[in-house]
Amino acid sequence: MTDRNGLLISRRSLLAHAVGGLAFALTANRLRAATAPLETEPGAHEANSLLTRVARPLDAETPPQAFTAWLTPNDRFFVRSHFGPPAPELVAPAAWRLHLAGLVERPLSLSLDDLRRFDEVTITAVLQCSGNGRAFYRPKTPGVQWERGAVGNAQWTGVRLRDVLDRAGVRPPARHLQMGGADRPAVSDTPLFLRSIPIEKALHPDTILAYRMNGEPLPLLHGAPVRLIAPGWMADSCVKWLTDLTLQAEEAQGYYMQTAYRYPSRPVGPGDAIAQQDLKPVEAMVVNSLIAHPQQGATLSRGHVMIQGLAWTGEGRIVTVEVSTDEGRTWEAAKLVGDDVPYAWRQWQFLWRTGGPGSRTILSRATDDRGQVQPMASPWNPGGFLWNGVDQVQVQVREA
Amino acid sequence: MSVTNRRHRFRPYALSLALLCAAFYTTGRAEEQTTGQSADQQAQRLLASRCSVCHSTDLVQQQRLPRDRWEATVSKMVHWGAQLDKEEEALLTAYLANYFHPEAGPVVEWPTIPLSGEEPGSALKQAGIATRGATIYQQNCLPCHGEAGKGGMGPKLSRNPILTQADRFRETVVKGRGAMPPWGSVLQAQEIADLHAWLSTLPE
């Protein structure tokens, strides 16, 4: 997408020029250092391969060009930071430990080698920020103004959380697994990023403690050395830099579980008061799709164009993807291609006859096997979570 | 939903301009408020010094919120450790609600403000005052150099040999080095002296 690329480059040079680069220096540094695996030298990666939303701590989304691939490369995978990565020595494989405590028979402290002795599994799964698409809500809601790229699909390798929990022995009345990471806020008055998932999700055989991403050691920005992957659920449950697992009767307390990442269980409008018991934690993903080609703003020659994209959902499967090129008046089925892998996204294609010259909008809409269909715009909610309005790109068709 | 107006763009020049203005108008000193700056200038200085301790201010400028949401957001930040007194909080909230409101559209232009007469970062004349240095450190240096100068993403500053060479210290802070940003347009000479005085009191 040329305009987005252009934005990155000009913003970069202007910034470097204007302020001697506080934001720029940090962004460039972080991107280089952080998308490389911990064990290898940083520097090989293109600095502006991600679209920065917040320079420090880094929040950056995948440029839409990268979505023509089924697996999103590590150095183009979106980055979401609450406080930024911990000091490297805190998560160095030699020093790192995973502590299991709370309602367990045997508290454990596991090294990375201990962890690797459990059965290894690999799962391909979509990871998506629950704020992906927040920028499209009207009225706007506070938070990082993500557009379309706070999502990716990767192969996660690690061990089953269930196996580790079995080793520790879960005791009643454990109902929730609290997760803590090694990242710390700049100022100690800021709440820690403490999250929990219900015990059923923790014991699900597909929920894993991942230490490899697309075959490489988990990169620092993605939670090295170990993060949780709860397939089908939004990334706020997939805690990075994991160090502490606590079994407890209640959900995690504190801002990041009790206030943030909550979604109203009934329709609300801006300004409505919502009772705490009507706000539920954001958990499973909702059905969604993305147009990867052509890119927003592209100029196409009149004739046939192969529209390509991706579709995904939470714990179900994608059954149809439809495309509209007349602003949503009529829809035609796209062809689902590639493998149908649980938790991964599904690729699709649609051969479009452009018709005469002019400006066109292409829309895509996915449906899953639970009957969820993407709406034109998602129901407004105060946190701006779970956007899944139909995807759209505008293109120009020219004669020949 | 309007199919054609959905996309939101953040134009690069507006952001750079904002950072530029902000950078020129930051010292982190509340006393400055009485020296004849406009409320906008004071707010920009607060934004660039107090709000950038934990995150870059692009997170602030990309929001489009009504006044009550700005009030809630700024007060949450104060609760979490942003250093603002009541008066500064009200001033900054008013500024944010004025510029970054829901109807502001994707591009917000910041007013261009003339440079102040005082030459920032100029030669160190006065002796530093350590107690003031602690606050300036907290607001500008802590995220990278850690609590009590013990180091973080930037090197350890407590007992750092550079503290024995006041000129080299000042020059490094004014001009920046590597990933360390230049502070010459942000901090004034007295503030750099205060920082130096405070850092020099720190134990190992």
Residue B105 in contact with partner chain A when CB distance is under 8 A: no
Query: At which of B99, B122, B144 does a domain end?
Result: B99
Contacts of A254 in chain B (CB under 8 A): none
Q: Which of A304, A315, A312 is nearest to A232 (CA)?
A: A315
Q: Smallest Cβ distance to B181: which of A22, A144, A147? A: A22
Establish if B62 belongs to a structural domain: yes
Owning domain of residue B60: 39-99
For residue A268, give the nearest of A159, A379, A174 by alpha carbon: A379
Which chain B residue has its CA at the smallest distance from A7's CA?
B12
Is B34 inside any structural domain? no
Question: Could you tell me the two tokens for A80?
Answer: 């979401």
Which residues of chain A have a pLDDT value below 50? 1-48
Res A246: pLDDT: 98
Tell me which fold the domain A44-281 belongs to.
Sulfite Oxidase; Chain A, domain 2 (3.90.420)
Query: How many Å lie between the alpha carbon of B81 and the closest alpha carbon of chain A?
Result: 5
pLDDT in tens, B111-145: 533 333 334 444 444 578 888 899 888 877 887 78
The answer as to whether B75 is a domain residue is: yes
Q: What is the pLDDT of residue A400?
A: 75
Tell me how far apart the alpha carbons of residues B56 and B44 are, in angstroms, rounded to a whole number.
Answer: 13
Give the residue from chain A lying closest to B82, CA to CA.
A187
pLDDT tens figures, A150-201: 999 999 999 999 999 999 999 999 999 999 999 998 888 999 999 999 999 9
List the helix and strand counts (H, then E) for chain A. Answer: 6, 23
- In this complex, do A187 and B53 lie within 8 Å of one another by their Cβ atoms? yes
Q: Do B143 and B194 lie in a common domain? A: yes
Asked if residue B192 belongs to a domain, the reply is yes
- Judging contacts by C-beta atoms under 8 Å, the chain A residues touching residue B71 are none
Tell me, what's the pLDDT at B179?
66
What is the fold, at CATH topology level, of the domain defined by A288-397? Immunoglobulin-like (2.60.40)
Does any CB of chain B come closer than 8 Å to the CB of residue A19?
yes
Are B192 and B170 in contact by the 8 Å Cβ rule? The answer is: yes
**How many structural domains are present in chain B?**
2
Flag whether pLDDT at B110 surpasses 60.
no
Mean pLDDT over each residue of chain B, to the nearest integer:
75
For residue B186, name the pLDDT band (cuts at 50, 70, 90).
low
Domain ranges in chain A?
44-281, 288-397
Quick one: pLDDT at residue A204?
98
CB–CB contacts below 8 A, A to B? 118
Residue A44's pLDDT is: 28
A364 min Cα distance to partner chain B (Å) = 12
| pTM for this entry | 0.77
What residues of B are in contact with residue A86 (Cβ under 8 Å)? none
Same domain, B195 and B137: yes
List C-alpha distances in Å: B47 to A67, B51, B60, B176: 36, 5, 9, 21
Nearest to A141 by CA among A54, A274, A261, A270: A270
Where does residue B31 fall: left (phi above 0), alpha (psi -120 to 50 degrees), or beta otherwise?
alpha
Q: Which of A8-22, B85-99, B155-169 has the lowest mean pLDDT?
A: A8-22
CA dist A111 → A40, A219, A242, A287 (Å): 21, 18, 12, 37
Q: Which tokens sit at A258?
A: 């009790």
